[in-house]
Structure 1
Amino acid sequence: MRIQGYYFKVVYTPGRYMYIADTLSRAPLPEFMHDRESEDVEMQTCFMIECMPFSREKIDRVRKATEVDEECQLLIKYILNGWPINEHDVHKNVRKFWSYCGELQYVNGLILKNYCIFIPQSLRAEMIVKVHEDHLGIERCKRRARDVMFWPGLSADVERAVRRCESCALHAPAPAREPLLQHIVPNAPRQKLASDILEYKKKYYVILVDYFSNYVEVQEVNSIYSRTIIHFMKEQFSRHGIPSELVTDNGPAYSSQEFKKFLRVWEVKHVISSPHYPQSNGKSECTVQTIKNLLKKMRRFWG
């Protein structure tokens, strides 16, 4: 608005003709604003305030709150009289506005930052409630607030208020799941195995599957205690060799101190999948389903 009274003619000049300016050309001239230009700027500002999405009653309330707010009065003083050269010379209560000092202006009893009205401390909670009355979510409420009002930390205050809203929390969309991390497939058989226990028709079976070849060992067991699983593992390790890594779930048979001691003595790295998240032990879970389906199909012939 300050340069609306001028008409500019822009001419492109190649860089080789852009000479270094001398000292006198850089010396600023005193600025004189004519009454007509001052009136035009004031009219533009008043028109901008009238077009803001605030009712006259609410703008009057902001004016009254600005008059009695100590922070606003300090800001008005700096806006009208000029800001200090150094940030440390600014009063500590308004030092947080230092980065906005070139954007703040005082017009008709209101402090403006560009096209946004500065809201005093006493009205901020009410303004946040007004912004959030439609329950549009965090980002929409932020955009709606930033379009019409301003104070330092506006976005954080709006987000904090929306997160405390029970209605928004109840109907919030579920967070996106992180992509599943795949197990590394070894370069040779019997290096990495997965184990699990399945139950079918009140009988228990222990499975052991190879990550490289998908070769499966299945054995029916009388119990699912750790000593039974250890006995099964010893037979498999003696027959096919000791693996470098064993992946299991966090079941009691695999998480006991006895089973951990067995793997530590046999120098086998034990990897436990996440509790209540069977996808992390996908090799065993898929093998369990395959074996269970085979048992169901073969039961027709067993009777």
Structure 2
Amino acid sequence: IQIVEECDSVLWKVKVPEELKVYYAKRNELSIEASMILWGHRVVIPHKLKERILKELHVGHFGATKMKQIARSRFWWPSIDKEIERMVNSCSSCGSQHNDPPKEKQHKWEITTKPWERIHLDFAGPFRGEMFLVIIDSYSKWCEVERMANDIRSESLQKS
């Protein structure tokens, strides 16, 4: 707390100690409330409490993504993401329960042998307030673009 209170002192303006530069960069966003340093609505965690907070966050073995989401909503300290990743990577339970979805096999299109055998369609826009239908022939790479009505819902397109 003393560090935050001294942010505007002459010492800060002369030379900022290396380990405090990250706090100095946020000096205009830090506040003190009920003896806690806040960055916005998040509590700035002192160095000596980081491990305790990390252990509490890790209790459910949610994995790095969920832990970061929870931590970022409530706390802040320099390198919070790296420390969460370090904890998750060093946990054997998280490693054994880690459930990466299988990688989707990339779909390969069959090679076309003549024009208009296969076309690709997509909408583009809005561009300057208008929508466009883009049609590309996969064989020749010929492209056709048609200006569409702004309403591209299927019911509207069927009426056209």
**Residue 31 of structure 2 aligns to which amino acid in structure 1?**
Q
Match of 2:44 in 1: 118
Whichever residue aligns with residue 90 of structure 1, its letter is V
Instruction: Kindly indicate whether the alpha-carbon contact (under 8 Å) linking 1:76 and 1:111 is maintained by their aligned counterparts in 2.
Output: no
Alignment correspondent of 1:77: 6
- Sort the Cα spacing of 1:82 and 1:116 in 2 relative to 1 into closer, same or farther, 3 A: farther
Match of 1:236 in 2: none
Deviation for aligned residue 1:181: 7.6
Q: 1:100 aligns with which of 14, 20, 26?
A: 26
How far apart are residue 157 of structure 1 and its match? 1.0
Higher strand share: 2
Shift of 1:84: 5.2
Match of 1:177 in 2: 103
**Superposed CA offset, 1:236-283 (max 9, x none):** xxxxxxxxxxxxxxxxxxxxxxxxxxxxxxxxxxxxxxxxxxxxxxxx
Q: Cα offset for 1:183?
A: 10
The answer as to whether partners of 2:6 and 2:12 remain within 8 angstroms in 1 is no
Deviation at 1:112, TM superposition (A): 1.0
In 1, Cα distance between equivalents of 2:90 and 2:84:
10
Distance 2:60 2:38 in 1: 26
Q: CA deviation at 1:75?
A: 3.4
Q: How has the CA–CA distance of structure 1 residues 84 and 123 changed in structure 2, closer, same or farther, with 3 Å as cutoff? A: closer
Are 2:77 and 1:148 aligned? no
| Contact 1:115/1:148 (8 A) holds in 2 | yes
Residue type at the aligned position of 2:51: A
The answer (yes or no) to whether the contact 1:138–1:159 under 8 Å persists in 2 is: yes
**Percent of residue pairs identical:** 22
**Which of 148, 159, 171 is the aligned partner of 2:85?**
159
Whether the 8 Å CA contact 1:83–1:101 is kept in 2: the answer is no
Report how far residue 149 of structure 1 moved.
1.3
Coordinate RMSD, CA, aligned: 2.9
Instruction: State the distance in 1 between where 2:88 and 2:42 align.
Output: 21
Which has the higher relative contact order, 1 or 2, with Cα contacts under 8 A spaced 6 or more apart?
2
Partner Cα distance (1:140, 1:82) in 2: 41
Q: Distance in 2 between matches of 1:153 and 1:172?
A: 23
Question: Does the CA-based 8 Å contact 1:111-1:118 persist in structure 2?
Answer: yes
Q: 1:111 is paired with a residue of what secondary structure?
A: strand
Q: Which has the larger radius of gyration?
A: 1
Q: How many residues align?
A: 113
SS in 2 for 1:78: coil
Q: 1:133: which partner in 2? A: 59
Structure 1 pair 115/160, CA: closer, same or farther in 2 (3 Å)? same
- Whichever structure has more helix as a proportion of its residues is 1
Structure-2 separation of matches of 1:83 and 1:117: 25
Structure 2 matches for 1:27-42, cutoff 5 A?
none
User: Shift in Å at residue 126 of structure 1?
Assistant: 0.9
Residues 149-228 of structure 1 correspond to what in structure 2 (within 5 A)? Answer: 149-177=75-103, 179-180=105-106
Letter in 1 for 2:35: G
Once residues 90 and 110 of structure 2 are traced to their aligned partners in structure 1, the CA distance between those partners, rounded to angstroms, is 42
Q: Distance in 2 between matches of 1:144 and 1:82?
A: 37
Counterpart code for 2:7: Y
